Each structure stands twice: as structure tokens, then as C-alpha cells.
Structure 1
Amino acid sequence: MPTNAPPGTDRQPRRRRLTASQRRIWPTADGAPDFDLTCPGERRVAIAGDWESNLDAVHAILRTLTNTAPDVRTILHLGDLRYEAPVLVGGKQVFLRNTIVRLDALLNEFGIRRLLLTPGNHDWPEQLHAEVTRHPDRPYRISQRIWVLPRGFRFRLGTTTFLSFGGAASLNKGPGDRGWSMHEAPTADDVDRASAAGTTDVLLTHEAPDVHIREVDDILRAASTWPAARLRASATSRALVTELLRNVAPKYAFHGHMHVDGETDRNGTSTYSLAILGKPRNIGIFDVHESHFSWLDQISSMVGKSDAANRSRTARTARTARTDDDSHDDSARHGPTTV
């Protein structure tokens, strides 16, 4: 069976279960419960859209990220890692793709300290619902470097406040389909609870709010692609997330799910749709002190131009140095001039 292991990996990392005490560790600098998740010296974090267990592409994007923004140690992920339930094989529960274990190894390889997941509709909703019911205010640690954030979880990074609100309605499957869960999409009660604490600077969702991003609207208008019942479920889910956005009035809102990139500014909120991995604009960088977002490809382009300019300056300096050296060498060969 193909492993989809990242380039240079001969075999899958072995799955190691977290102990009960390890699961209780928070994604804070010291592991203790605190809603300020800022790590010492942290200024920028990455925000990423759907990865869909495409670990070869994850390897490539993490390499680009660490080359472009080597200071980034935190990824805020907008869902659909494909954290999936095990299946029975020969009477044993087996994680067929072993995505989380292999992703954790990649994060370690590239020096990413933590990935905080705002879960999508393809991130094992049954398990997450059960865990959040037991521990409604605690991030759910699923590997050494990956935590899943409860729906409505609020936290701080730097001087910026965040609200994570996972879940979405699947457009391609519904009741009766394998893997579908009644817990995949948010409810009105979820919105009420998440709204109760008031405004936030940044809203992170998997579901798309109805803010008329052209590229998202084009996806939804392709009505023949999706069953009518799933389009209705999507409309209900999007209406709830839109209500949440109005209630908490963020300066920035980010979502995945629709697999296309786009952006709009409405009513004081800049909303970004992040593309699926493998397409441009799956990931960007957010400054948690200045509250500023830039697409990674924009930053990479700027870094590339800067590198080119540095190489040009270095070449000019080298040419000047060689000319100066030649002059000194010529004086040395012929001796000082006389009158």
C-alpha cells in the first residue's frame, strides 16, 4: 500500500499514543492552561487553508514557509487536515493514512512548534464532539505538536485576540453517506455561546461566511455539481457563521472549505478565503502585534527580489574588490613609480 511519505522518507513514523498527562498539556510556552498562547519572542504566525492529507505538498509548503519566514513557529490551520477515524482491519483499528503522525514528523523536521487546528468537516467530528463534551474549554492535543481547538475557543497571540469556530456542512455528502457526521456543522447554540464574550480581532472558521467573495460565490453557483439537500445544508451553516461574524465584529476573518482563494472588505472586516494546498494562496503570514496579513507568495516574491538585489550588490562589490586588488597587485609587481 502506498505510504504517501514525504520526500526523503523511507517509512512512516511509528504511532505513539499520548499519555493522559501529555493530553492535558496546553499549547502554551510552559504547557500550563492559559488563554494567552504567545511564545516568547513570537511576532508572526502562519494561517493555512485545507491540506487534505497531501503530505508531499505539505512538505513543499513547509519548506517554503521556513525559507521565507524562518521566525514562524506556529501554524493556525483552518481545517481539513483529514484527521480521520480508524477503520477495522483484521479485527484491529488501523489509521490507514496515518496522517497526523506523519504530519507531526514534518512539523518537527521544519521546526514548527505547534499547529492549532480549527477543525473542518473532514476532521473526525464524532471524536472531537465527544472530547469537547468532556473538556469544553481545553484544546484537544492529538499529537506532540498538534492541538484541535474547541468550537468557540478564544485565545490571544501577542496583542491580538482570536476566536476559533470550526465545522462546516459537507457539500459532497450527507446523512446516510459513509463518514458523514451530524456534528460536522455548527449550530445556533454554538453561535450563541461563541458570541457571548463579545468582539474579537480575528475570527478563524472552516465554513465560509456569506460576504460575497467572488471566487466563493462562483463555487456555490455551480448548483449542478452539488445535491440540492447539501446546498441547503451549506446555506444554513454559512448563515450561522455569517451571524457569528456580525456578532463578534472582527477586523480579520479567515476561512477554508471552499478550496479557492479570494478576499473582500466589508463593514470593517477583511475576510480571506484560503485555497486548497497545491493552489496559490493556501497560506499567509499574520503579524500578531501589528495585526497585518500577507499572502506567503507575496512575501516570497519580496524576499526573492531582495535576494536578487543583495546578489547584485554582492557582485558589484566583488567586481570592485577585484579591480582594487588588481591595482594593488600591479603596484606590487612593478614597484613604486619614480620621477
Structure 2
Amino acid sequence: MTLDAPLEIAVLGDVHGHLTLVYRLLGRWQRETGRALDLILQVGDLGAFPPPFRLDRATKRFAESDPDELGFAAYHEGGPEADAFFGPDAPADQRISADLVFIRGNHEDFEFLDEAGAGSDAPVPVDAYQKILYLPNGARFTFGRGPHRITIGGLGGISDGGRPGRDPVSEHYTASEVRRLRSRGERVDVLLSHEPPHGAAAAIHPRYADGGSRDVLELLRELRPRYHFAGHYHEPGQPLAATGETQSYQLNAVNFGRPHRLNPGCIGILRWAGPEESTFALLDAPWLGEYTRSNYRVL
């Protein structure tokens, strides 16, 4: 890879603890394409629940049938499962060098993330390998390699009945976090939000016609990002209606809705050499069909 080659950035939908599935799929993408990822972005609901587990009711219910809902712990504490990608003896064809940067969703340990991100304006590591980084609400950061730079801002969590919440240690974003993101007045290249913008998801299903965040919609109008990525709805990944020249996408959860089928549109690849020299596509490769709930750890 030459330094002037475009940045290779993977974008993930909700993960809900299924980090080993994520890294298996991204490692396969690297092998299939012969290209190395520079950065991984994730739109919230990573499932950041370290021990001792403070689980919300929904996560606790799902974890009873799918222990991988608690898979973040293997990376937070370190161990054989995570060593396979980050350890000193990780095979070259399986190693993931790119950092994963995530915003919070509405299913995380909010006390843990609040403590980790306190006072930070940049992504902060939350795992034993310094490879999984939390981007606090309202923060932005710039990533670069060679001549290329990309600026990413984040607003995690969801609205509270269509309005900002009041408690920053909760599933809701707050008005001060929204102000923090817009305060610099500068454009960002990518905006990550957990909740899609208000009204934009009507194309996914009529039940979402009045869903989404009005604050995210206003941020898109003000910050004018080239790309916007969201999750939350666990629906097939697809473009969303947006504003101006922004390309907006909703991504599916990285999981198996059925035991033998990976959720469609759960991963996308952004190739970035600048705002006018960039492409994004949801991953739809034939080899994805090889992965099932029972075999993904060995492929």
C-alpha cells in the first residue's frame, strides 16, 4: 500500500458484543481484497459491558440465549479470543491493525463509558489492547495517513421522546453534547450518530415515519458532512434521505437474524482520498454467505 492510496475505512452497524464476528469478517475482507484497513467506525450499541456486568433488561434477556452479547469482556480484559487478532502471536493473515472507534448507543454500560471518556475531546481506549476507542458525545477527531485527512464527529445515544435527555450517564444524548459538537462551527467529513435523523427512515418502513432524532437532522444541516452513518433500527442497510450533498446510510446489526444468514448491509467500506475523491458501498460480497452463527469462529 502506498501512502497516497485512499484511506480504507470500515463502517459497522450495531455490534451488541459480537466483536469476534466483526473481526473475523474484517480479516476476511482484508484477505479477499489484499487491502489493509486504516480505521473502523461503529455507530453505537457496541455492547460495551465490562465485568461486573451492569446490564439493561433487553441485553440481559438476549445474553441468556446468545452469550456473545457479552463478548466485549474478552477484549476489555484480554484473552485468547482477542489475542487471535491483537496478540503478539496473532497470524499475519488474521491480524487487525486498524483501531475501532465507536460512539455510544442505547445498550451500553453508561457509567463505564462516562468514566472512560470524562474530559476527553478525542477517542479513548477501553480495552486491554488499546485498539477499541470510545468517542465521547460531541467530540470530533481527525485521522490521517500520508496526504489524506478525515474528520469525524459523533453524537451517540438516542433522543428522549424526540428531545435531548437530561442525564449524560444514560441512553440519551443531552443538549450540551449537541452544542459541543456544533460549537466549533466547522464542517466534519463524517458524522456518526446512533439514531437516524428525524423522518429519514420512513423509506425503511412506514413505522419509522416519525422516528429519528431532530437534533441529528439539524446537525446534518449545520455541519454538512460528506457522509453520515447511523444504526439503531436493525433493518437492512440502505441509504437514507439526507440534506444537501450528505450521503446518509443506516446500517444493520452485525449479527445473524437467521442462523445461516448474516444480516444484509451490516458493514460498509468507505474509501477516502478527500471529500470529492471518496466512495462508500455496503459490503455485499459472495463470501459473506459462507458465514453462519455456528461456523464464523473457524472460517
> TM over 0.5: same fold?
yes
Change (3 A) 1:60 1:85: closer
Post-superposition CA distance 1:44-70 (Å, at most 9, x none) = 111111111235633542343223343
CA distance in structure 2 between the partners assigned to 1:125 and 1:284 by the alignment: 27
Q: Paired residue for 1:203?
A: 191
- For 1:142, the equivalent position in structure 2 comes to 126
Matching of residue 274 in structure 1 with residue 271 in structure 2: no
Q: Is the 8 A contact 1:154 1:163 kept in 2?
A: yes
- Tell me if structure 2 keeps the 8 A contact 1:187–1:240: no
Matched, 1:64 2:28: yes
CA contact (8 A) 2:201 2:208 kept: no
- Quote the Cα distance in structure 1 between the aligned partners of 2:222 and 2:263: 32
Does the 8 Å contact 1:46/1:284 carry over to 2? yes
Work out whether 1:193 is the aligned partner of 2:201: no
AA of the residue aligned to 2:239 = E
Partner of 1:166: 156
For the 8 Å contact 1:46–1:76, the answer to whether it is kept is: yes
| Mapped contact 1:121–1:170 kept (Cα < 8 A) | no
CA 215–53 in structure 1, closer or farther in 2 if over 3 Å, else same: farther
Structure 1 residues 139 and 204: alpha-carbon distance in aligned structure 2, compared to 1, 3 A threshold: same
Distance change in 2, residues 1:74/1:219 (3 Å)? farther
Name which of 89, 101, 124 aligns with 2:109: 124
Q: Residue deviations 1:71-118, cap 9 Å, x none?
A: 2142111121211143379xxxxx965243467435435322211112
Shift of 1:152: 1.8
Q: Please give the root-mean-square deviation of Cα atoms over the aligned residues, in Å.
A: 3.3
Please give the alpha-carbon distance, in whole angstroms, between the structure 1 residues aligned to 2:279 and 2:121: 28
Shift of 1:276: 0.9
Structure with bigger helix share is 1
> Which of residues 229, 237, 250 in structure 2 aligns to 1:254?
229
Q: Which runs of 5+ in 1 are unaligned?
A: 1-38, 90-94, 172-179, 222-230, 303-339
1:264 maps to which residue? 240
Secondary structure of 1:71's aligned partner? coil
Find the partner of 1:83 among 35, 48, 63.
48
- Equivalent residue of 1:268, what SS? coil
Contact 1:118 1:165 in 2 (8 A): yes
Distance 1:125 1:167, change over 3 A: same
Give the counterpart letter for 2:264 in structure 1.
Answer: P
Counterpart-to-counterpart distance in 2, 1:205 and 1:163:
9
Contact kept in structure 2, 1:211 and 1:264, CA below 8 Å: no
Task: Give the TM-score normalised by structure 2.
Answer: 0.67
Point out the structure with max Rg over C-alpha: 1
Do 1:219 and 1:258's aligned partners in 2 also have CA atoms closer than 8 Å? no
Measured in 1, the distance between the counterparts of 2:229 and 2:70 equals 30
- From 79, 83, 95, give the equivalent of 1:105: 83
1:293 to 280, 284, 298: 280
Cα shift readout 1:269-293 (whole Å, capped 9, x = no counterpart)? 1110001113111111111212221
Q: 1:194 to 1:59 in 2, by over 3 A?
A: closer
Cα contact 2:138–2:179 (8 A) shared by 1: no
> Relative to structure 2, which stretch is displaced further, 44-53 or 67-76?
67-76
TM-score, length-normalised on structure 1?
0.60
Report if aligned partners of 1:73, 1:112 keep a CA contact under 8 Å in 2. Answer: no
Match of 1:332 in 2: none
Distance, in Å, in 2 between the alignment partners of 1:74 and 1:104 is: 18
Which residue of structure 2 aligns with residue 330 of structure 1? none
- Which shows bigger deviation, 150-159 or 54-63? 54-63
Contact residue 48 and residue 274 of structure 1 kept, 8 A = yes
CA–CA separation in structure 1 for the residues paired with 2:142 and 2:53 = 40
CA drift at 1:123:
2.3
The whole-number CA distance in structure 1 between the counterparts of 2:199 and 2:230 is: 12
Which stretch has the larger CA shift, 154-163 or 265-274? 154-163
